[in-house]
Structure 1
Amino acid sequence: MVRTALPPAVNVYVSTHIPLSVLAQMPEQLRVLGEAIRHSSEAMSEGYITSVKAYGLAVSAYVDANNTLNGIFDALVELELENSEPLKDVFSALRSARRLMGAIHKICGNFQDSRRFMVAFASQATVDATVGALTNCGNEIRLSVGKFGY
């Protein structure tokens, strides 16, 4: 396999570099999702049209982050790296983020019904807890890929 040097001179296979470099962008996607959830929650009091538009942005942010997360996980598993000692923390961070995304998906009724989303995120405490959890997952991911120079 071809290897590539990454700052700070950490060597990984190119096939591993691709999912790790995309994973390094996940904290930003999780932040965007948190902001979309916060915005959607705030928009609920601004009328139906505004709240539906904000809900659409939250759904889009969720789908983008979830698809990216699952794609990275699948790529690393396909490369048979799931039990790799150097990637132990990466997989731990991925699993944490996947559990959180799954929980958001379930409490929002699989995003099939905007009313269920609105009920779930009507409470500011729920919004704050969710945004905080997304931030924590982003930080865990950032730390795990930071070991590889990302």
Structure 2
Amino acid sequence: MRPRLVLSMLILTAFAVGCAPQPVFRQLPVELAPPPQVVSAEPARHRGGEVLWGGTVVAVHNQARHSEIEVLAYPLDRGQRPQTGHGQQGRFIALLPGYVEAADFPSGTAVTVTGRITGAREGRIGDHAYTWPEVSVRGLQRWTGDGRRPPRVHFGIGVGIRR
């Protein structure tokens, strides 16, 4: 191969890799719990499991000492953003300490959470019985707009100083 062609391919590859979405939560356990629909079938078996789940907000309920965000789960992309165009993966309840302003999480808002499965809740969706896994949230990312971050590409010569 010609040196120019090889150099061009290397530059294009580096640029493509640099533009790939970076995960929001970088330090995760090696083994994560399966999707919510699997956990809801056998919640006791998965209790204590670590999760990285995301989806869209269905509802927010504030209790006396904590808040609950009901989420319709979707698979995550490489940047850990829910892919709402793909098949849904069940529902779960994200438990957060204190008060959460419901206006900050309107229905349809995309979120990604990390945390631990602490239990399950039986209930109904319409006429259907349902089991929601409950997750004690350790980290939460609320996505806005299309969720894209500006590219972190800088060209220049010299010294740069950041504050």
TM-score of Structure 1 vs Structure 2, range by shorter chain: under 0.3
Bigger Rg, structure 1 or 2:
2
User: Structure 1 length as normaliser, TM-score?
Assistant: 0.25
User: When you count helix as a share of all residues, which structure comes out higher?
Assistant: 1
User: Structure 2 length as normaliser, TM-score?
Assistant: 0.23
User: When you count strand as a share of all residues, which structure comes out higher?
Assistant: 2
